[in-house]
């Protein structure tokens, strides 16, 4: 076991929202990376959860005639259920209403207060409830006013001296202590930091909002929901660190290796969170990766736009593996991408049903029909180039996948699948098997083509497991892989996992059934209302 810890987080999603494809996307990516590192022997902690305080939640609970806690207890289940349906392997699920989280938020606030990083001041300005943020830009205020999305507030507030950390933040980004990815987002943040940084309002008076964590030093105020939420990345570690000494309260997993987020919440993470950590004298996360947006007809997918795709429906229709593969293959991580049901069906049919599924069926069915065993033997020049190609592709996959280059890494694997399919087409093993009684060379070639193709499929099952844990587990077992694929660990640098002559191969069901493109709905609310 490599003694390496790896800590990765997703945003904690607003409990009010009905989870959509955008939320699923970040969580699938974090899951794929977590599974990838676990299989390579790393000690992974993968945290996700729900953000449950703030004005939006209080308003929604009131509208339903429920207490805030009842409302959250009910709604956070939507996220848990989706993560189960998507085979998400998170190690913990944090809710900001967890009592232990609230205790630790209070402790962190008290420390900031004791150390002189918080002061009180009157404030007036426009507040955007749906983003839970004060808006200062004049044009933005006018636009949001017209849409009825801001309210004017005048109140006493507590402020965090964020401005004191501006220079340190710039040098942390420039020195690589904190890596912001992709490069364009790093430049965006550095550009933002060329203007003087203000201080951050971190409280709301209870007279306006009661639903939050009380400030320990001013109990007529609750903590600003973003400060409460960001602290989850540290407080979530308590699931691991019970019994850790108080002076090392977040244990060996802090700092996080990766905070995965969407680009909508880049500033809160790369500026608010990092400066709070500096004031708390805690190390900064190593990387923040802000990926792009799923759009529908060019507009960001979001509940307020009414154009969201429900991942539950996609799972019911196509299975979780197909959805996981599609989102990781379709859109380079970091860029935006437009969702179209036709694109999803095209990927399933061509990449999964055809290139991967048909190859697996052909190999398994031929071997099953012919006694059920792969013949022992060595590779000759007939298949050695393909095995070399696999090894080269596996090395590229390792490098690109670990670096969040999901689309490139998968495309590389599909080159190996194409080459394997070509080998089968060129050698026609269904013909060779009939000729082998008269022609020993045909028999040898048949054995070798089956053994090499089977070994490639078995090796690819392990490689593709982080993306499609369910069906790759089925393929692994069908080809004689020992135990559950989720328990498999690579021990050396080699990714080559040949089939064994001892394995009994049986005919199986199609891994990825073909979809009839004509019967597929569009899957977005808005598109369907217009149908």
Contact region for ligand ME8 (CB under 6 A) — 105-113, 174-182, 297-305, 472-480?
297-305
Q: Is residue 201 involved in binding ligand ME8 (CB under 6 A)?
A: no
Question: Considering beta carbons, is residue 232 or 358 the nearer one to ligand ME8?
Answer: 232
Contacts of 17 (CB under 8 A, 6+ apart): 23, 303
First to last CA, the chain: 55
Q: Which helix (H) or strand (E) holds 218?
A: strand 218-223
Residue of 79, 117, 159, 294 that binds ligand ME8 (CB under 6 A): 294
Residue 11 touches ligand ME8, criterion: CB under 6 A: yes
What separation in angstroms does the CA of 510 have from each of 160, 354, 461, 514?
58, 10, 15, 9
Q: Determine contact, residues 524/299, Cβ cutoff 8 Å.
A: no
Q: In what order do the strands lie in the sheet with 214-215?
A: 203-205, 218-223, 214-215
Question: Is 264 near ligand ME8 (CB under 6 A)?
Answer: yes
For the record, the structure tokens of 469 come out as 């844990």
Pairwise CA distance, residues 291 & 260, whole Å: 8
Residue 41 or 182 with smaller CB distance to ligand ME8 = 182
Match 């060379």 to its residue by tokens. 441
DSSP three-state, residue 149: coil
Which CB sits closer to ligand ME8, 229 or 394? 229
Q: Please give the distance of CA 10 from its chain centroid, rounded to a whole number.
A: 7
DSSP string, 172-191: HHHHTSSEEESHHHHHHHHH
As measured in angstroms, the least distance from the Cβ of 460 to ligand ME8 is: 28
Closest to 208 measured CA to CA, from 225, 192, 186, 191: 225
Alpha helices in 403-503 (DSSP H): 406-427, 429-435, 440-464, 469-478
Which of residues 144, 150, 265, 468 is near ligand ME8 by CB under 6 A? 265
Nearest-angstrom CA–CA distance, 258 and 163: 25
The stretch among 135-143, 174-182, 294-302, 445-453 that binds ligand ME8 (CB under 6 A) is 294-302
By CB under 6 A, the residues from 67 to 126 that bind ligand ME8 are: none
Q: Which residue is at the shortest CB distance from ligand ME8?
A: 22
Query: Does the protein bind ligand ME8 through residue 200 (CB under 6 A)?
Result: no
Is residue 56 a contact residue for ligand ME8 (CB under 6 A)? Answer: no
For 211-237, b/e burial (b = at least 16 CB within 10 A) is bbbbbbebeebbbbbbbbbbbbbbbbb
Tell me: does residue 524 bind ligand ME8 (CB under 6 A): no
Q: Which is nearer to ligand ME8, 288 or 433 (CB)?
A: 288
Pick 14 or 390: Cβ nearer ligand ME8: 14
Q: How far is the CB of 468 from ligand ME8 (least distance, A)?
A: 21
Distance of CA 472 to the CA centre of its chain: 19
**Choices 5-13, 147-155, 402-410, 414-422; region in contact with ligand ME8 by CB under 6 A:** 5-13
Pick one of 223, 261, 344, 456: the residue that binds ligand ME8 (CB under 6 A): 261
Contact with ligand ME8 (CB under 6 A) among 8, 23, 40, 227: 23
Bridging pattern class, strands 294-296 and 299-300: antiparallel
Helix (H/G/I), strand (E/B), else coil: 14: strand
d(Cα 469, Cα 322) in Å, to the nearest integer? Answer: 11
Stretch that binds ligand ME8, among 28-36, 192-200, 227-235, 371-379 (CB under 6 A): 227-235
- Nearer Cβ to ligand ME8, position 11 or 212? 11
Q: Which stretch binds ligand ME8 (CB under 6 A): 191-199, 226-234, 402-410, 496-504?
A: 226-234
For ligand ME8, the binding residue among 212, 236, 255, 262 (CB under 6 A) is: 262
Among 8, 12, 276, 442, binds ligand ME8 (CB under 6 A): 12
Tell me the chain's radius of gyration from C-alpha atoms. 26
The residue from 227, 229, 345, 515 that contacts ligand ME8 (CB under 6 A) is 229
Q: Does 161 bind ligand ME8 (CB under 6 A)?
A: no
Among the listed residues 5, 42, 149, 300, the single contact to ligand ME8 using CB under 6 A: 300
Distance CA 25, CA 337 (A): 11
Binding residues for ligand ME8, how many (CB under 6 A)? 22
Site membership for ligand ME8, residue 460 (CB under 6 A) = no
Interface contacts to ligand ME8, rule CB under 6 A: 11-14, 17, 22-23, 25-26, 51, 229-230, 232, 261-262, 264-265, 293-294, 300-302
């Amino acid at each position: 076991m490599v003694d390496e810890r790896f800590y990765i987080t997703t945003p904690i999603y607003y409990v009010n929202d009905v989870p959509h494809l955008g939320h699923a996307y970040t969580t699938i990516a974090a899951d794929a990376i977590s599974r990838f590192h676990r299989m390579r022997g790393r000690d992974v902690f993968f945290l996700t959860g729900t953000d449950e305080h703030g004005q939006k939640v209080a308003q929604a609970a009131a509208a339903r005639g429920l207490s805030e806690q009842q409302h959250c207890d009910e709604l956070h289940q939507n996220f848990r259920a989706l993560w189960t349906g998507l085979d998400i392997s998170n190690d913990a699920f944090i809710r900001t209403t967890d009592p232990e989280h609230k205790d630790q938020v209070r402790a962190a606030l008290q420390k900031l207060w004791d150390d002189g990083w918080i002061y009180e001041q009157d404030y007036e300005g426009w507040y955007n409830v749906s983003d839970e943020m004060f808006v200062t830009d004049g044009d933005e205020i006018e636009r949001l006013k017209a849409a009825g999305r801001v309210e004017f507030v005048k109140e006493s507030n507590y402020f965090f001296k964020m401005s004191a950390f501006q220079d340190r933040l710039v040098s942390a980004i420039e020195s690589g202590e904190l890596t912001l990815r992709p490069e364009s987002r790093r430049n965006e943040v550095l550009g933002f930091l060329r203007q003087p940084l203000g201080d951050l309002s971190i409280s709301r008076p209870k007279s306006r909002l009661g639903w939050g964590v009380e400030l320990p030093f001013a109990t007529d105020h609750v903590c600003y929901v973003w400060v409460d939420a960001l602290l989850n990345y540290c407080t979530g570690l308590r699931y691991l660190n019970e019994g850790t000494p108080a002076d090392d309260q977040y244990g060996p997993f802090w700092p996080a290796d990766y905070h995965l987020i969407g680009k909508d919440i880049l500033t809160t993470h790369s500026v608010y969170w990092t400066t709070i950590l500096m004031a708390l004298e805690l190390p900064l996360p190593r990387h923040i990766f802000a990926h792009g947006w799923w759009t529908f007809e060019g507009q960001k997918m979001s509940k307020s736009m009414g154009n969201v795709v429900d991942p539950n429906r996609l799972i019911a229709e196509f299975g979780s593996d197909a959805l996981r593969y599609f989102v990781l293959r379709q859109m380079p991580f970091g860029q935006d991408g437009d969702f179209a049901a036709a694109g999803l069906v095209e990927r399933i049919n061509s990449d999964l049903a055809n290139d991967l599924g048909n190859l697996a069926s052909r190999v398994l069915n031929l071997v099953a029909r012919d006694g059920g065993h792969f013949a022992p033997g060595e590779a000759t020049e007939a298949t050695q180039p393909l095995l070399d190609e696999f090894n080269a592709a596996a090395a590229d996959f390792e490098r690109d996948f670990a670096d969040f280059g999901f689309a490139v890494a998968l495309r590389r694997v599909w080159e190996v699948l194409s080459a394997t399919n070509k080998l089968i087409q060129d050698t026609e093993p269904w013909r060779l098997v009939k000729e082998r009684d008269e022609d020993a060379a045909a028999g040898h070639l048949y054995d070798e083509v089956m053994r090499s193709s089977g070994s490639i499929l078995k090796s690819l099952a392990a490689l593709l497991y982080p993306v499609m844990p369910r069906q790759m587990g089925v393929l692994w077992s069908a080809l004689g892989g020992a135990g559950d694929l989720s328990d498999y660990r690579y021990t050396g640098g080699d990714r080559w996992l040949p089939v064994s002559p001892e394995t009994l191969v049986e005919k199986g069901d199609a891994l990825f059934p073909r979809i009839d493109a004509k019967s597929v709905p569009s899957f977005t609310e808005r598109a369907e209302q217009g149908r």
